[in-house]
């Protein structure tokens, strides 16, 4: 990964940041700011909070950059740190990182799937903005797992470790999140068709 | 034997996320039965398609949002405060000898005084009742600094540059020691106005045009957004001059624009 403006690689930037060079810190920030901020924004659905969390994630990373030896990918290190910062914040606010209730809840609480009946399909496309709005509406427990798995690409075993749940729990929450999203998206599509 | 709709419900998570290597014999057998069911059941088939679509579209949401420039400013300030940045703050020369590789300096130096003027204008609108008709008359006084470089150097950088030795020519030193005429009396008897945004924004855009395309687009978007915010808030404040919150919001918007200019200056240097 190379900063297109400064023409230095991520590796060089890390080495220079370890020596305390501001430009190197800035290069690393610009290389990863989108991914980090987007992750925070998806998880908390609040731009101001997301900025604070992204700031905290980068600060934690930069404070520990002297210990980075390159055994793992820098981006992996940063994104795990970001997730931990966000999860810590959610826990502080008393929001469920992963909800036991949601996992054990009766099917009547889960989205209705209407198996065996004719259903409206999403017809092969999903508007990005609508999908984002639908994600924002997810309960926190569902949202965490969905964002980490489907948006950020973490595996269930990694999610289970990060949020402190079982792999089965992570899979279950993801499945329910997708079903809820499907319902939300269909609802939004129907509303849009009515109004316009 | 084929499977039912409820079997589909049970097996869907594995079908969607399970890798072929991890699939158990039972899952593989079930998957083959499932194929037959999906061909004959439109509801289950549609459900599977939709969930696959949601999962694939969600990936497009990663890394799509840019944080505001203030995030880096705050991080850098914190790094300096904690001593993690172990080098002096970069010098900001007002006049740098022109060379082919540094042509941008002649374009960008005006950003600092413009940022200061924006802050002064923002402060003014918060502390005074707006008088739009007066502000319009004053607009020429805040003509772009680039047009009068000898009389309006950036006060915030004069001290550092005078000791940095970047400008050695006597006339350059004279320019630096000259009082910043426009900024020396920002709150004179008449009301200062916001800078002529169309001209100064053009200069801003010209300065950031030297940056990488993605960076340039980001600055352009930020400028557009903050200008829209200033316009809307100014209009509201004009109609509701007693609204303290609105005036504070307007001040924040000016500060945001000043910050944007300052960040652009730092980046270009």
Answer yes or no: is pLDDT of A39 > 60: yes
Please give the pLDDT value at position B219: 80
**pLDDT for B202:** 84
pLDDT at A5: 58
pLDDT band, residue B262 (cuts 50/70/90) = confident
**With contact defined as beta carbons under 8 Å apart, do B207 and B104 qualify?**
yes
* Residue A171 contacts B, CB cutoff 8 Å: yes
Q: Does B48 touch chain A (CB under 8 A)?
A: no
Nearest to A54 among B16, B60, B67 (CB): B67
DSSP, residue by residue, A103-122: HH--TTTSPP--TTS-----
Record: contact A179-B55, CB cut-off 8 A: no
Q: How far does the CA of residue A117 sit from the closest CA of chain B (Å)?
A: 6
Which has more confidence, B131 or A180?
A: A180
Q: Residues of A with CB below 8 A from B81's CB?
A: none
Residue A64, chain B, CB below 8 Å: the answer is no
**Is residue B123 pLDDT above 50, yes or no?**
yes
Interface test with B, best of A68, A113, A146 (most B CBs within 10 A): A113
Any chain A CB within 8 A of the CB of B86?
A: yes
CA–CA gap between residue B51 and residue B43 (Å, rounded):
12
The answer to whether the beta carbons of residues A157 and A64 sit under 8 Å apart is no
Over residues A50-68, the mean pLDDT reads 94
Say yes or no to pLDDT of B136 above 50.
no
**Least confident piece of the model among A22-26, A140-144, B22-26:** B22-26
Could you tell me the pLDDT band of residue A81, with boundaries at 50, 70 and 90? very high
Q: Given an 8 Å threshold on Cβ–Cβ distance, is A5 in contact with B75? A: no
Question: If you measure CA to CA, which chain B residue comes closest to A56?
Answer: B75
Does domain A10-92 fall into CATH 2.60.40.10?
Answer: no
Average pLDDT in the B74-103 region?
Answer: 63
Q: For the complex shown, is ipTM > 0.90?
A: no
Asked if residue A190 has pLDDT above 70, the reply is yes
Is A122 close to B54, i.e. CB distance below 8 A? yes
Residue in B with minimal Cα distance to A36: B63
Give the pLDDT band (50/70/90) at residue A1: low
- Check whether B110 has a pLDDT greater than 70: no
Q: Return the percentage of chain B with pLDDT > 90, whole number.
A: 7
Indicate the domain borders of chain A: 10-92, 100-195
**Ramachandran quadrant class, B96 (left: phi over 0; alpha: psi -120 to 50; beta: rest):** beta
pTM of the shown model: 0.57
**Which range, B119-128, B178-187, B221-230, has the best average confidence (pLDDT)?**
B221-230
For the cut 60, the answer to whether the pLDDT of residue B13 exceeds it is yes
Beta carbons of B9 and A113 less than 8 Å apart = yes
Which three-class secondary structure string do you get for A27-77?
HHHHHHHHHHHHHHHHHHCCHHHHHHHHHHHHHHHHHCHHHCCCCCCHHHH
User: Which has the higher per-residue pLDDT, A88 or B140?
Assistant: A88
Give, in order, the Cα–Cα distances in Å from A192 to each of A179, B112, B131.
20, 47, 44
Contact state of A19 with B86 under an 8 Å Cβ cutoff: yes
CATH class of A100-195: mainly alpha
Q: How far is CA A75 from CA A68, A78, A82, A159, in A?
A: 12, 5, 10, 17
d(CA A94, nearest CA chain B) in Å: 26
**How far does CA B197 lie from the centroid of its chain?**
16
Structure tokens that stand for B191 in this block: 């009301």
Q: What is d(CA B68, CA A47) in angstroms, rounded to the nearest whole number? A: 9
Q: How many CB pairs under 8 A join A and B?
A: 154
CA quadruple B188, B193, B199, B204: dihedral, nearest 10: 90
Q: Which of A6, A75, A81, A116 to mutate to test the interface with B (most CBs of B within 10 A)?
A: A116
Mean pLDDT lowest for which of B90-94, B114-118, B235-239?
B90-94
**Average pLDDT, integer, range A23-50:** 93
What's the CA gap between B122 and B251, in Å, rounded?
5
- Residue B113 pLDDT grade (very low, low, confident, very high; cuts 50, 70, 90): low
For B65: left if phi > 0, alpha if psi spans -120 to 50, otherwise beta; the answer is: beta
């Amino acid at each position: 990964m190379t900063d297109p403006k400064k023409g230095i690689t991520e590796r060089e930037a890390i080495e220079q940041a370890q020596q305390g060079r501001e430009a190197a810190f800035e290069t690393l920030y610009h290389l990863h700011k989108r991914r980090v901020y987007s992750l925070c924004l998806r998880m908390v659905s609040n731009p101001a909070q997301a900025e604070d969390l992204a700031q905290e994630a980068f600060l934690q990373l930069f404070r520990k950059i002297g210990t980075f030896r390159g055994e793992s990918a820098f981006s992996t290190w940063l994104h795990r740190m970001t997730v931990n910062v966000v999860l810590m914040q959610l826990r502080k606010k008393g929001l469920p990182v992963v909800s036991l209730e949601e996992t054990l809840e009766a099917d009547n609480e889960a989205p209705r799937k209407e198996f065996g009946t004719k259903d409206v399909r999403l017809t092969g496309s999903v508007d990005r903005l609508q999908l984002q709005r639908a994600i924002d509406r997810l309960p926190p427990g569902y949202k965490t797992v969905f964002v980490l798995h489907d948006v950020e690409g973490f595996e269930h075993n990694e999610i289970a470790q990060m949020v402190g749940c079982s792999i089965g729990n992570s899979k279950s929450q993801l499945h329910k999140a997708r079903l809820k999203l499907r319902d939300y998206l269909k609802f939004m599509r129907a509303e849009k068709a009515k109004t316009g | 034997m084929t499977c039912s709709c409820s079997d589909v419900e049970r097996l869907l998570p594995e079908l969607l996320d399970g890798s072929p290597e991890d699939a158990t014999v039972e899952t593989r057998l079930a998957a083959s039965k499932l194929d037959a069911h999906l061909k004959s059941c439109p509801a289950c088939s549609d459900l599977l398609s939709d969930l696959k679509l949601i999962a694939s579209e969600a990936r497009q949401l990663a890394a799509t949002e840019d944080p505001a420039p203030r995030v880096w400013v705050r991080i850098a300030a914190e790094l300096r405060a904690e001593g993690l940045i172990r080098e002096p703050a970069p010098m900001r020369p007002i006049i740098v000898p022109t060379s082919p590789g540094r042509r941008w300096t002649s374009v960008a130096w005006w950003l600092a005084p413009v940022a200061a003027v924006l802050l002064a204008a923002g402060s003014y609108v918060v502390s005074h009742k707006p008088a739009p008709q007066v502000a319009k008359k004053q607009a020429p006084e805040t003509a772009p600094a680039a047009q009068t470089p000898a009389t309006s150097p950036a006060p915030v950088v004069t001290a550092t540059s005078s000791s940095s030795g970047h400008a050695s020519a006597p006339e350059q030193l004279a320019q630096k020691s000259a009082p910043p005429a426009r900024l020396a009396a920002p709150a004179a008897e008449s009301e200062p106005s916001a800078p002529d945004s169309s001209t100064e924004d053009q200069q801003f855009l010209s300065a950031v045009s030297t940056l990488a395309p993605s960076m340039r687009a980001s600055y352009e978007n930020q400028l557009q957004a903050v200008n829209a915010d200033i316009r809307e808030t100014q209009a509201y404040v004009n109609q509701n001059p007693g609204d303290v919150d609105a005036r504070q919001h307007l001040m924040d918007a000016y500060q945001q624009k000043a910050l944007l200019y300052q960040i652009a200056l730092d980046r270009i240097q």
